[in-house]
């Protein structure tokens, strides 16, 4: 099946080509104000599309051949000239990666660091705030109900040391953060930090983070943004969102390699953060009893880092910039809603995403068949999905919400035929 579907994103009309085969890498074109993603070409440039129906992009997306070759080429260079020498040879390219990430996030290049994961970015920024005195005893951290375990566990650890406490802001009926309740909590005057999730990893709603940022800005409270599931599938403009820190991973919607992450810290804040685990690249050893942190984002950048993977991340981010994030968001919205509609039409299947705006994450349960069994059936049919359990999202799952759900996450290169294959598998699990 091939066709073109259209939509409007941020006032711009986006036309998106949906297809199932292709032959070229030239995968984006602009027609006046309309940018079109050539799904056929994207699939041809992605080796995994020939071997699997990949609906686990919220876990780790399929990289392009170009990203793979970037990584392998640098590893080969390291083997030929030496690791330090190879890094020196690509120093300018690494600067370019940071510039591309900054462009993606609407930030300055001096406000971005490359890390090993979203969790590493979050941990270093959070502990940096705490060690810098920004989370004192008696102050509160406000969080939303979509909070992910890796972030929450780090927050629990920090609060146990500093004496700060955590308050979960109530959610609205659709599952998103209640911004009026947030404003009420901010008005109490004891809040040191607000941390909110752009897109929940365990269901596909999109939180109103621009409104959250506006409330925090008005109250003079720092806002940390979890963009792990939004970077690469939705526009993330840190200036418009008014966040002080944003974290993300390379392996999900950006289609970069595992072992890569992104960290944004607003330039007026970075000097007050004291990240843990500094080394000779992040700090200076001034004398036998003193050290001083490097200026700017250098204090977040360790000496040892995966150069090949970061170059691969740069290739992936440049590809996103070339396609255009609005066009990507529009296509993901189309294919995800297509899948939701098809699943909802099956009697005995419940979709659990919520939210007035949804993302590329589609979560569902099947009557009479547990999520793990659904995943196993899909895997047997050559389809990748995942299962999310309450242990990873304790503020939202369990109780009146399911303890576990199947998570299918189509990307812009997913076809309607691939969605139909998953729906067929699910239908086969339902009682006759």
**Amino acid 13: pLDDT:** 30
In a domain, 46, yes or no: no
Rounded distance between C-alpha atoms, residue 199 and residue 207, angstroms: 6
- Would 362 be classed as within a structural domain? no
Per-residue pLDDT tens over the stretch 76-113: 999 999 999 999 999 999 999 999 999 999 999 999 99
Closest CA to 86 of 99, 96, 72, 76: 76
- Give the mean pLDDT of 267-295: 97
Rg of the chain over CA atoms, in angstroms? 22
Check whether 32 has a pLDDT greater than 90: no
Residue 238 in any domain: the answer is yes
> Is the whole model's pTM more than 0.85, yes or no?
yes
**Of all residues in the chain, what percent carry a pLDDT higher than 70?**
92
- Could you tell me if residue 200 is inside a domain? yes
Name the average pLDDT for the chain: 92
Question: pLDDT: is 35 or 115 the higher one?
Answer: 115
Asked whether residue 407 is assigned to any structural domain, the reply reads: no
pLDDT at 173: 95
pLDDT per residue as tens digits for the range 164-183: 999 999 999 999 999 999 99
> Structural domain of residue 108, as residue ranges?
69-321
What per-residue confidence (pLDDT) applies to 34? 60
Question: pLDDT class for 35, splitting at 50, 70, 90?
Answer: confident
- Lowest average pLDDT, out of 2-6, 74-78, 262-266, goes to 2-6
**Residue 59 counted as domain residue:** no
pLDDT for position 182? 98
Q: What is the CATH number of the domain that holds 96?
A: 3.40.640.10
Q: How confident is the model at residue 195 (pLDDT cuts 50, 70, 90)?
A: very high
Number of domains in the chain: 1
Instruction: Specify if 14 maps to a domain.
Output: no
**What torsion do the CA atoms of 185, 186, 189, 193 make, to the nearest 10 degrees?**
110
Within a domain: residue 413?
no
Q: What is the pLDDT of residue 36?
A: 86
């Amino acid at each position: 099946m091939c066709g073109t579907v259209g939509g409007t994103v941020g006032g711009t009309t986006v036309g998106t080509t949906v297809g199932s085969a292709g032959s070229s890498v030239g995968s984006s074109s602009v027609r006046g104000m309309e940018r079109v993603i050539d799904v056929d070409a994207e699939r041809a440039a992605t080796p995994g599309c020939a071997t699997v129906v990949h609906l686990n992009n919220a876990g780790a997306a399929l990289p392009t051949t170009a990203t793979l070759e970037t990584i392998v080429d640098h590893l080969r260079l390291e083997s030929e000239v030496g690791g330090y020498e190879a890094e020196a040879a690509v120093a300018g390219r690494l600067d370019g990666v940071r510039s591309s990430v900054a462009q993606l996030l609407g930030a300055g290049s001096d406000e971005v660091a490359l890390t090993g994961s979203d969790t590493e970015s979050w941990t270093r920024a959070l502990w940096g705030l705490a060690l810098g005195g920004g989370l004192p005893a008696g102050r509160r951290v406000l969080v939303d109900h979509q909070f992910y375990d890796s972030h929450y566990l780090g927050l629990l650890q920090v609060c146990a040391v500093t004496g700060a406490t955590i308050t979960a802001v109530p959610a609205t009926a659709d599952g998103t953060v209640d911004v009026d309740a947030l404003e009420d909590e901010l008005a109490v005057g004891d809040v040191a930090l607000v941390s909110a999730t752009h897109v929940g990893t365990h269901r596909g709603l999109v939180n109103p983070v621009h409104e959250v940022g506006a409330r925090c800005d008005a109250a003079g409270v720092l806002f940390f943004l979890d963009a792990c599931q939004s970077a690469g599938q939705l526009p993330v403009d840190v200036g418009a969102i008014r966040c002080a820190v944003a974290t993300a991973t390379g392996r999900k919607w950006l289609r970069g390699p595992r072992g890569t992450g992104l960290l944004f810290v607003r330039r007026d804040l970075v000097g007050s953060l004291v990240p843990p685990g500094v080394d000779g690249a992040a700090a200076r050893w001034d004398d036998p009893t003193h050290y001083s942190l490097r200026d700017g984002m250098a204090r977040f950048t360790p000496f040892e880092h995966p150069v090949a993977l970061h170059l691969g991340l740069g290739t992936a981010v440049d590809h996103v910039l070339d396609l255009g994030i609005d066009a990507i968001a529009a296509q993901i919205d189309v294919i995800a809603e297509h899948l939701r509609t098809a699943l909802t039409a099956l009697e005995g299947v419940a979709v659990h995403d919520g939210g007035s705006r949804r993302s590329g994450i589609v979560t569902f349960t099947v009557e009479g068949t547990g999520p793990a069994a659904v995943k196993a059936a899909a895997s047997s049919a050559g389809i990748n999905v995942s299962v999310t359990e309450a242990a990873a999202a304790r503020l939202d799952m369990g109780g009146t919400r399911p303890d576990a759900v199947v998570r299918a996450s189509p990307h812009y290169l997913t076809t309607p035929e691939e969605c139909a294959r998953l729906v067929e598998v699910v239908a086969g699990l339902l009682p006759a």
